[in-house]
């Protein structure tokens, strides 16, 4: 008999129509009653919050991750988190950054509300509960289960605003597939080393600064003025910026501010290719290229690295990215 803990935080999966718009009001026990427990699995529930995930902050996120880890320490076989889809890829990634346990933490949610005539939440939750209690999900890290597919937290992105297949892992694909009771393994994701992050302490402020045609450095400077301890550039293409942003990055980096470069393109790594404001200049001037991490996941990695090593966060980020790449190369070598 397996045991799974269901932690509910809100999101569309728990939302109902009301006079002002959709609001997350359905408690975990009701979500579970609609989904049903998998045969042979005991599911216990708790409600952490009933909010849309667009209203969560990093303090809520630390609390959620700490609670999921506490449930594992208490001895459940897996944890399922119901969560809004808007920021699920961020929450799942922070949970994954500190996850050092073979048992799965599985995030899920819905695109249609609980009181919709055809809600997708009950099936997504039933699938996530099945995944959380299956041996096939062990050693895969934190997972996101949605619309019959399961993705590793690192690299997953919301790719549809309204359709039921809300998530994809561009350049990677799903790691499991769920068809009713059957869970099929598709790929083994690399698992990087866990970061020794103290979840009781605040995460330092890291801002994501977007690049767009003709962007000047106003937003970059505003982020620093607001107290950012680190910056992630949501750069063009393979990691390029406008000349003025690149020049300001060089200034800020020489003053000690850590800057990570990721791309506004959903798939593929950034690379030090171009001068004239491009990635070659950014890298030469001391910004760190963040591989194929999305800007939002890169932001959490840099914030965690700042918390772990305030004086040298980029060494922690670089070490983490390098270790993950080595493990990926080994896993891909084994998978042929
Ligand atoms: N659209 C969102 C959801 O799917 C709202 C949120 O993120 O809470 O749950």
Ligand 1 atom closest to the Cα of residue 166 is 4
Structural domain boundaries, residue 249: 206-326
Does the structure show a pLDDT above 80 at 330?
Answer: no
What pLDDT score does 334 carry?
Answer: 61
Q: Is residue 247 part of a domain?
A: yes
How many distinct structural domains can be found in the chain? 2
Residue 280 lies in a domain: yes
Quote the CA–CA distance of 255 and 70 in Å, as a whole number. Answer: 40
Residue 195 included in any domain: no
| 223 band by pLDDT with thresholds 50, 70 and 90 | very high
Same domain, 173 and 216: no
Cα(first)–Cα(last) distance of the chain, in Å? 36
| Distance (Å, whole) CA 177 – CA 42 | 22
β-pairing, 2-10 vs 41-51, is parallel
Phi, psi (rounded to 5 degrees) for 131: -60, -45
| Residues 50 and 102 reside in one and the same domain | yes
Q: Indicate the pTM of the whole model.
A: 0.96
The residues with which 209 forms a beta bridge, in sequence order, are 233
Of 294, 287, 295, 277, residue with least CA distance to 318: 287
φ, ψ of residue 81 to 5 degrees: the values are -115, 120
Domain shared by 274 and 148, yes or no: no
CA distances for 77 relative to 1, 11, 71, 101, 318, angstroms: 10, 24, 9, 11, 33
Residue ending a domain, choose from 155, 185, 215: 185
Nearest-5° Cα angle at 307, 297 to 204: 70
Ligand 1 pocket residue status of 212, Cβ below 6 Å: no
Check residue 328 and give its pLDDT: 76
Residue 20 included in any domain: yes
Please check whether residues 217 and 170 belong to one and the same domain. no
Q: In this structure, are residues 94 and 300 in contact, taking their beta carbons and an 8 Å threshold?
A: yes
231 & 264 share domain: yes
165 plus 221 within the same structural domain: no
> How far apart, in whole angstroms, are the C-alpha atoms of residue 82 and residue 9?
6
160 and 15 within one domain: yes
Residue 289 per-residue DSSP state: E
Cross-sheet strand order for the sheet of 288-289: 206-210, 230-235, 259-263, 288-289
pLDDT per residue as tens digits for the range 26-72: 999 999 999 999 999 999 999 999 999 999 999 999 999 999 999 99
Span 180-210, pLDDT tens digits: 999 999 999 988 889 999 999 999 999 999 9
With respect to residue 102, please indicate whether it lies within any of the assigned structural domains: yes
Q: For residue 53, how far is its CA from the centre of ligand 1 (angstroms)?
A: 6
Using CA atoms, how far apart are residues 142 and 91, in angstroms rounded to an integer?
10
The answer on 253 and 112 residing in a single domain is no
CATH code of the domain covering residue 228: 3.40.50.40
Give the active site residues. Answer: 12
Please check whether residues 95 and 227 belong to one and the same domain. no
Domain's final residue, options 185, 214, 242:
185
List Cβ neighbours of 218 (8 Å cut-off, separation of 6 or more): none
**Residue having the nearest C-alpha atom to atom 9 of ligand 1:** 84
pLDDT interval class at 167 (50, 70, 90): very high
Residues 124, 29 share a domain: yes
Q: Are residues 170 and 39 in the same domain?
A: yes
User: DSSP H helical segments within the chain, as ranges?
Assistant: 28-35, 58-74, 88-98, 121-132, 218-225, 243-254, 279-284, 295-308, 313-335
Inside any domain, residue 336: no
CA angle 206, 211, 215 (to 5 degrees): 115
Query: 255 lies in a domain?
Result: yes
89 C-alpha to center of ligand 1: Å? Answer: 12
Asked whether residue 278 is assigned to any structural domain, the reply reads: yes
Give the CA diameter of the chain.
62
Question: Contact at 8 Å (CB) between 153 and 95?
Answer: yes
Backbone CA torsion sign across 270, 274, 278, 279: positive
Q: What is the CATH number of the domain that holds 9?
A: 3.40.50.1170
Index of the ligand 1 atom closest to the CA of residue 10: 8
CA 229, 235, 238, 240 torsion: positive or negative? negative
Residues 31 and 170 in one domain: yes
Q: What are the tens digits of pLDDT across the range 100-150?
A: 999 999 999 999 999 999 999 999 999 999 999 999 999 999 999 999 999
Q: pLDDT grade, residue 335 (50/70/90)? A: low
9 lines ligand 1 (CB under 6 A): no
């Amino acid at each position: 008999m397996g045991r799974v803990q269901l932690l509910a935080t809100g999101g569309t999966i728990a939302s109902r129509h009301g006079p002002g718009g959709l609001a997350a009001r359905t408690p975990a026990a009701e979500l579970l009653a609609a989904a049903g427990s998998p045969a042979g699995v005991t599911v216990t529930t708790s409600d952490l919050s009933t909010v849309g995930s667009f209203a969560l902050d990093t303090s809520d996120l630390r609390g959620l991750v700490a609670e999921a880890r506490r449930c594992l320490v208490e001895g459940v076989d897996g944890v399922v988190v119901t969560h809004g889809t808007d920021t699920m890829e961020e929450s799942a990634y922070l949970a994954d950054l500190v996850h050092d346990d073979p048992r799965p933490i599985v995030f899920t949610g819905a695109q249609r509300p609980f009181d919709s005539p055809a809600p997708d939440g009950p099936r997504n939750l039933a699938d996530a509960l099945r995944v959380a209690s299956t041996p096939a999900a062990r050693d895969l890290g934190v997972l996101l289960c949605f619309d019959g597919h399961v993705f590793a937290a690192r690299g997953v992105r919301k790719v549809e605003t309204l359709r039921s297949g809300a998530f994809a892992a561009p350049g990677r694909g799903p790691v499991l597939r769920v068809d009713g009771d059957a869970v099929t393994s598709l790929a083994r994701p690399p698992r990087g080393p866990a970061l020794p992050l103290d979840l009781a302490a605040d995460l330092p402020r890291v801002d994501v600064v977007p690049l767009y045609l003709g962007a000047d450095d106003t937003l970059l400077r505003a982020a620093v003025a607001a107290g950012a301890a680190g910056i992630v550039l949501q750069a063009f293409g393979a990691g390029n910026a406008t000349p003025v942003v690149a020049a300001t990055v060089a200034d800020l980096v020489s003053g000690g501010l850590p800057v990570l470069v990721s791309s506004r393109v959903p798939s593929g790594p950034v690379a030090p290719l171009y001068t004239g404001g491009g990635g070659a200049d950014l890298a030469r001037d001391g910004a760190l290229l963040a591989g194929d991490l999305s800007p939002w996941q890169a932001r959490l990695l840099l914030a965690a690295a700042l918390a772990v090593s305030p004086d040298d966060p980029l060494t922690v980020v670089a070490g983490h990215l390098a270790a993950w790449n080595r493990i990926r190369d080994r896993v891909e070598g084994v998978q042929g």
